[in-house]
């Protein structure tokens, strides 16, 4: 699949924003260690990042002004469900943000808890947009929505640790750091399982199953095109195995190993501004690269009609 940057930006940054909301509510409502001022800044950052991501998701559309129509199919479309859930998230998130501005209230905590749940469910719906597609075997697995949630929570975790270290008012290097550390390891493990799975699976569609012609061997006689068409460009993106392997190593270094090392150092020696900001920046770059690979390695069944495997 052609890796459109607008969709890559959307999935990474909105996921990080939703993850940050979950961590802020966790620190406030369950741990009681979040200072309202720190929480307010964190929520404003999270809402800004989420909004930027959601807006960017419309840039790859031919008519962005018609994006609202997608939400009318919420009964059958995960894309529509994602849009509905994202809209439902905002009122509760804004109420919680206003509560933090007032210094924290019980009704604000309740709204924050609902916002956190909606944040996780929205990211799940985003993952299911791709996970439900049977025509793309690399995506058609329950690992996809699980990884979307883990990626968002991991990025939100490194963000909340850095936010707490910069502004204070939160036990950034205590439970939050331990939770983030565990999420980095867990996300790296699941990502490795996912890459191993898509690299070793042998089943998939063939020309026989794609055309429904079961008797004899079906083979392509002519592509019918002298130049690449839209389907070949959008659904026939190719990346060399050696390049993909090198990029996967970079993902592990940037998204997992470096943040893990920096966080471990800060947990033992105390928060350091450069290390905190660097941890967030490197993790984001690593996740952008991970998401680029997620799209670049996906092969659509339509490629069978052009003499390529899927």
212 exposure class (CB count in 10 Å sphere: 0-12, 13-18, 19+): exposed
Helix crossing, 5-25 with 273-296: angle to 10°? 130
Q: What is the rounded distance in angstroms from the CA atom of residue 224 to the CA atom of residue 148?
A: 38
Task: Tell me the sheet residues that pair with 300.
Answer: 136
Count CA atoms within 13 Å of residue 68 on its CB side.
Answer: 2
> What pLDDT, on a 0 to 100 scale, did the predictor assign at position 202?
66
Measured distance CA(130)–CA(6) in Å, rounded: 16
- The predicted pLDDT at position 134 comes to 86
Hey, what CATH topology would domain 5-306 get? Formate dehydrogenase/DMSO reductase fold (1.20.1630)
Cross-strand partners of 136: 300
* Under 8 Å between Cβ of 275 and 189: no
In whole angstroms, what separates CA 127 from the centre of its chain? 7
Q: Is residue 267 within 8 Å of 199, Cβ to Cβ?
A: no
CA angle 116/117/119 to nearest 5° reads 65
Each of the 310 residues of the chain gets a pLDDT tens digit; together they read 788 899 999 999 999 999 999 999 999 999 888 888 899 999 999 999 999 999 998 887 777 777 777 778 888 889 999 999 999 999 999 999 999 999 989 999 999 999 999 999 999 999 999 999 988 888 989 999 999 999 999 999 999 999 988 877 566 678 899 999 999 999 999 999 999 998 887 666 777 777 777 777 777 777 667 777 777 777 777 787 788 899 999 999 999 999 999 999 998 888 888 999 999 999 999 999 999 999 988 888 887 777 676 5
What pLDDT does residue 203 have? 61
Q: How many Cβ atoms from other residues are within 10 Å of residue 23's Cβ?
A: 28
Nearest CA to 259 out of 172, 175, 181, 193 is that of: 181
How much is the pLDDT for 154? 97
* Nearest of 150, 144, 142 to residue 182 by alpha carbon: 150
User: Could you tell me the residue ranges of all domains in the chain?
Assistant: 5-306
Residue 263 CA to residue 271 CA, distance in Å, equals: 9
State the Cα–Cα distance between residues 293 and 245, nearest whole angstrom: 10
Query: Whole-angstrom distance between the N-terminal and C-terminal Cα of the chain?
Result: 11
Distance (Å, whole) CA 134 – CA 140? 5
The answer to whether 285 and 256 are in contact (CB under 8 A) is: no
């Amino acid at each position: 699949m052609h890796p459109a940057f607008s969709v890559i930006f959307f999935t990474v940054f909105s996921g990080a924003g939703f993850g940050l909301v979950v961590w802020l509510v966790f620190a406030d409502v369950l741990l009681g260690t979040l200072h309202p001022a720190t929480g307010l800044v964190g929520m404003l950052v999270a809402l800004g990042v989420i909004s930027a991501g959601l807006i960017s998701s419309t840039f790859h559309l031919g008519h962005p002004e018609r994006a609202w129509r997608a939400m009318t199919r919420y009964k059958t479309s995960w894309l529509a469900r994602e849009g509905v859930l994202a809209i439902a998230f905002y009122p509760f998130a804004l109420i919680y943000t206003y509560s933090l501005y007032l210094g924290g209230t019980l009704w604000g905590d309740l709204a924050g808890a609902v916002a956190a749940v909606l944040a996780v469910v929205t990211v799940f719906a985003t993952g299911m947009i791709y996970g439900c597609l049977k025509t793309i075997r690399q995506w058609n697995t329950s690992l996809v929505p699980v990884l979307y949630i883990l990626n968002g929570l991991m990025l939100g975790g490194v963000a909340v640790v850095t936010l707490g270290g910069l502004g204070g008012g939160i036990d950034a290097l205590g439970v939050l750091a331990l939770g983030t550390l565990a999420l980095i390891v867990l996300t790296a493990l699941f990502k490795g399982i996912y890459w191993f799975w898509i690299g070793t699976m042998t089943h998939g569609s063939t020309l026989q199953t794609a055309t429904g012609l079961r008797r004899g061997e079906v083979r392509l006689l002519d592509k019918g095109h002298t130049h690449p068409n839209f389907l070949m460009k959008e659904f026939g993106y190719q990346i060399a195995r050696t390049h993909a392997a090198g990029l996967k190593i970079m993902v592990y270094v940037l998204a997992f190993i470096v943040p893990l090392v920096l966080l471990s150092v800060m947990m033992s020696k105390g928060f350091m501004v450069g290390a905190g900001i660097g941890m967030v920046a490197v993790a984001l770059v690593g996740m952008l690269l991970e998401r680029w690979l997620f799209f670049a390695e996906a092969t659509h069944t339509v490629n069978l009609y052009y003499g390529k495997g899927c």
